[in-house]
Structure 1
Amino acid sequence: MDLKKSLLLIIVVLLIDQISKIYIKTHFEYQESVEVFRWFKILFIENSGAAWGTKLNDFLPISESTGKLILTIFRLFAIVGIGYWLYDIIKKKSARVLIVAVSLIFAGALGNIIDSVFYGVIFNDSYNQVATLFADEPYGKLFHGKVVDMLYFPIIQDAVWPDWVPFVGGNNFSFFEPVFNIADSAISIGVALLIIFNKKAFPKKGQEERSEEGNE
C-alpha cells in the first residue's frame, strides 16, 4: 500500500468524522437523542477528557482547564509519533494490513485532535440550544475544545445481574454504555486489525525475507 492510498483512506475517514460532528453540533442540543433502532441511538454528548470521559484533574491536583490543555498537547505529540510510524512503514513497504491499521489510527486520532484544538473557538455552547458554527461568542479557547460524540448502542438496557453474581448481583446494568464517534471507531478498528492480524502485521525477520524473495 503506497502513500497516496494511505492518504486517501485518512482523508475519507476525516471527512466522514468531521462532517458527522459538525452536523450533530449544529442540529442537536446537548444530550438530545434520536432513536434509529431500539439498540442504536444518535445521542449528542461532548467529551472534554480522554477515553471514557476520564479527566486528568480526577487524578492530579490541577484545574480542569490545565488538565485539558495537557491532554491536548499530549495528543499532538502522539499524532506526530503515529505519523512518523506511518511514514516509516510505508517507506519500508511493510504489510498492507499494518499500513491500513496505522492509517486508521492516525485518522481517528487526528479527527479527535481537531475537536480538541479548534472546536472551542468556532462553536458556541450547546446547552439548551443548538450551537452555531463560527459563533461570535465561542464556548472556549484554542486547545480547550470538547470532542463531539454521538454513536450510542444500548444493546441491553435496564437488565439486572443475577443474585448469584459476586459483588454486582441484583444491581442494574446496561450494555453497551459508551458513546463514541467515527474517529473513535477508526482507532478501534485499527487496533483490532493489529491484534487479529498480528502475525501478518509484524512478521518475523525470516518471514519478511521469504516474502521479499517471493515478490522478486
Structure 2
Amino acid sequence: MSLTRAYLLIFFILLLDQITKTYVKTNFILGEEVEIFNWCKILFVENEGMAWGTKIPGEYGKLFLTVFRIFAVGGIAYWLWDTVQQKSNSNYLIVAIALIFAGAFGNIVDSVFYGVIFDDSHSQLATIFTDQPYGTYFHGKVVDMFYFPIWHGFLPDWLPLWGGKEFTFFNAIFNIADIAISTGVGILIVFNKKAFKK
C-alpha cells in the first residue's frame, strides 16, 4: 500500500470521527441517550482522561496526557512512514498502523481543541465556535457515544469476587477513533504473522 492510500484512509476515518462527534456534541445534551435496540444505544458522554474515563490525578494530569498523546502520535506517524518506505512490509501492517494513527489523532483533536471551540454540554446543546468555551487548549474532553450493553443483570452468587453483583457486558462507551485504534491493534494480534512477515 502506498503512503497516499494510507493518508486517504486516515483522512476518511478522521472526517467520519469528527463529523459524528460534532453532530452528537451539538444535538445531544450530556447524558442524553437514544435507544436503537436494547443492546445498541447512542449515549453522549465526555471523557476527560483515558479508556473508561481513567484520569491522571493532579492539576497538570490532563495536560500531561494530551502532550504524551501528541508525542505518541508523532512516533506512530514515523512508524507508518518507515513501514511504507520498506516496500517488503505487509499491507496488513500498513493498514493497522494507519488505523491506530487515525484513531489516536482523532482523540487528540478533541483534547487539544474542543475546550476552546465548544461551550458546555451540561443541561444544554453545545454550540460550536462559541465565545464562551468550556475549557482551554489541551484541556478538551473526548466525545464518546456508542454504547452496546449486550447483557445486563446480576451475576450468580457462586462466582468469586463478583457473585451477586450487578454487571453489564459490554459497558464501554466509545467513538469512531476508538474503533479505529481497536481494529488496528486487532489486526496486529490476529494477523501477526502476515503483518510482520519478515
TM-score (ref. length: structure 2): 0.98
Q: How far is the alpha carbon of 1:163 from its aligned partner?
A: 1.3
- Please give the per-residue CA displacement for 1:180-211, whole angstroms capped at 9, x wherever unaligned: 0000000000000000000011123xxxxxxx
Alpha-carbon separation, structure 2, partners of 1:143 and 1:24: 21
> For residue 212 of structure 1, what is the aligned residue in structure 2?
none
> For residue 16 of structure 1, what is the aligned residue in structure 2?
16
Answer yes or no: is 1:121 the counterpart of 2:116.
yes
Answer yes or no: is 1:131 the counterpart of 2:126.
yes
- Please give the per-residue CA displacement for 1:120-159, whole angstroms capped at 9, x wherever unaligned: 00000000000000011000000100000000001002x1
Name the SS for the 2:145 alignment partner: strand
Alpha-carbon separation, structure 2, partners of 1:118 and 1:167: 41
Name stretches of at least 5 consecutive residues in structure 2 with no aligned partner: none
Q: How far is the alpha carbon of 1:109 from its aligned partner?
A: 0.3
Alignment of structure 1 residues 174-193 onto 2, 5 Å: 174-193=168-187
Answer yes or no: is 1:39 the counterpart of 2:34.
no
How many residue pairs get aligned? The number is 197
Alignment of structure 1 residues 44-193 onto 2, 5 Å: 44-57=44-57, 62-63=58-59, 66-93=60-87, 94-157=89-152, 159-193=153-187
Alpha-carbon separation, structure 1, partners of 2:4 and 2:118: 32
Name stretches of at least 5 consecutive residues in structure 1 with no aligned partner: 205-216
- Please give the per-residue CA displacement for 1:6-40, whole angstroms capped at 9, x wherever unaligned: 01100000010000000000000000010011100
Aligned structure 1 segments of 4 or more residues deviating by more than 3 angstroms:
none
Name the SS for the 2:49 alignment partner: coil
Look at both structures and tell me which one has the larger radius of gyration over its CA atoms. 1
Q: How far is the alpha carbon of 1:104 from its aligned partner?
A: 0.2
Alpha-carbon separation, structure 2, partners of 1:99 and 1:137: 41
Alpha-carbon separation, structure 1, partners of 2:16 and 2:25: 14
Percent pairwise identity: 61
Answer yes or no: is 1:202 the counterpart of 2:193.
no
